[in-house]
Amino acid sequence: EVVLAQSPATLSLSPGERATLSCRASQSISSYLAWYQQKPGQAPRLLIYDASKRATGIPARFSGSGSGTDFTLTISSLEPEDFAVYYCQQRTNWLITFGQGTRLEIK
């Protein structure tokens, strides 16, 4: 099973600042990585697939990068609605795993 380790666990920033979230895989997963955003009381929402491609309707301030074992989700300029929990996710050998999440909170 591929383990995804996200860092930091919590990130405290102000609106307008740049956010950089990390996801590290325990083995190479090429670019087969997705990112989700989850707000309190809501289901997760798909943001990024193929490590760097935005899902339908996702604003351009969200971008993803990386391949192999190291991946990054960047939010270029934080809007108030971006404060949430973010998860990375992958599927290898028909086993799906999620990272433990990064909580992005208002400073």
Partner 1 sequence: QVQLQESGPGLVKPSETLSLICSVSGYSISSGYYWGWVRQPPGKGLEWIASTSQNAGTYYKTSLESRVTISLDTSKNQFSLRLSSVTAADTAIYYCARDRIVGATAVFDLWGQGRLVTISS
- What is the C-alpha separation between 30 and 100, in angstroms, rounded? 20
HEC states along 15-76?
CCCCEEEEEEECCCCCCCEEEEEECCCCCCEEEEECCCEECCCCCCCEEEEEECCEEEEEEC
Instruction: Find the binder of partner 1 among 50, 70, 79, 105 (CB under 8 A).
Output: 50
32 Rama class: left (phi>0) / alpha (psi -120 to 50) / beta: beta
Q: How far is the CB of 65 from partner 1 (least distance, A)?
A: 14
Told to check if 33 binds partner 1 by CB under 8 A, we report yes
Number of residues in contact with partner 1, rule: CB under 8 A?
A: 29
Task: Say whether residue 91 binds partner 1 (CB under 8 A).
Answer: yes
Rounded Cα distance between 46 and 67, Å, is 18
Among 31, 63, 65, 72, binds partner 1 (CB under 8 A): 31
Q: Does 55 sit near partner 1 (CB under 8 A)? A: yes
**Residue 89 binds partner 1, judged by CB under 8 A:** yes
Residue 8 Cβ vs partner 1, minimum distance, rounded to whole Å: 15
Binding stretches for partner 1 (CB under 8 A): 1, 31-34, 36, 38, 42-46, 49-51, 53, 55, 87, 89-91, 94-101
